[in-house]
Amino acid sequence: MKIFQTQLQGLLQRFQDYELDMEEAARLVSQAIISEGQLYIYGEKELRGIVQQALLGEDALPSIVESTAETRFSELDVVLVFSPDPGSETAAAIVKKAAENGAQVIGISSPGITEKADEAYQTTWTTDCQYHFSTGISKGFVPLDDGRRIGKPHLLAALHLFYQLYFIVLEFLEEYEM
């Protein structure tokens, strides 16, 4: 457990490098909440947990709704996309649809881990995001005797990034007196 905790602490400290971009992303989210736009969230695999937190948790974001394949986006909207897989076709379809309709996209994913078997596959949905934040998790934190690595806290890291965004959004909304 000590190895896991040490690796996790190092990872979370690196998230401080996102401070300026996180502020800009939070500004977009705040504008969607304050304006006539809509704030959407989409999550897949283990990162669906963040969708539940954002929609139903005590720290839910105001005016947020879940995005689906049927969602109609506008240029006033902001979409939060959470996927451990930057090669996800479903996330890519939502991001593409949002971008085509002028919505701003903020993405959180793991770096370079894709379920695509084709090594030539280079394009990911993350390139279409106005802001993208990587969890930094590409392998497990804890090595085993047989060479495998376990302990990939995708949800924990992404939730930390969500909270970074959440706290800044709340500051902006307080300034606006919402």
Burial 144-158 (b: 16+ CB within 10 A, else e): eeeeeeebbbbbbbb
Give SS3 for 118.
Answer: coil
pLDDT of the residue at 117? 44
Q: What is the DSSP letter of 107?
A: E
Domain extent for 142: 2-176
Condensed to tens digits (0 to 9), the pLDDT of residues 4-29 reads 999 999 999 999 999 999 999 999 99
Q: How far apart are CA 129 and CA 107, in angstroms?
A: 6
Q: Which H, E and C letters describe 18-57, residue by residue? A: HHHHHHHHHHHHHHHHHCCCCEEEEECHHHHHHHHHHHHC
Q: Cβ distance 160 to 144 under 8 Å? A: no
The amino acid occupying position 39 is: L
Question: How many other CB atoms are found less than 10 A from the CB of residue 35?
Answer: 11
pLDDT at 112: 61
Please give the pLDDT value at position 111: 84
pLDDT score, position 144: 93
pLDDT, residue 123, reads 59
What CATH number has the domain bearing residue 39? 3.40.50.10490
In terms of phi and psi (left: phi > 0; alpha: psi -120 to 50; beta: otherwise), the region of 136 is left
The ranges of the chain with pLDDT < 50 are: 114-115, 117-122
Q: How many domains does the chain have?
A: 1
| Spatial separation of the C-alpha atoms in residues 40 and 55, rounded to whole Å | 10
pLDDT digits (tens, 9 = 90+) for 24-40: 999 999 999 999 899 99
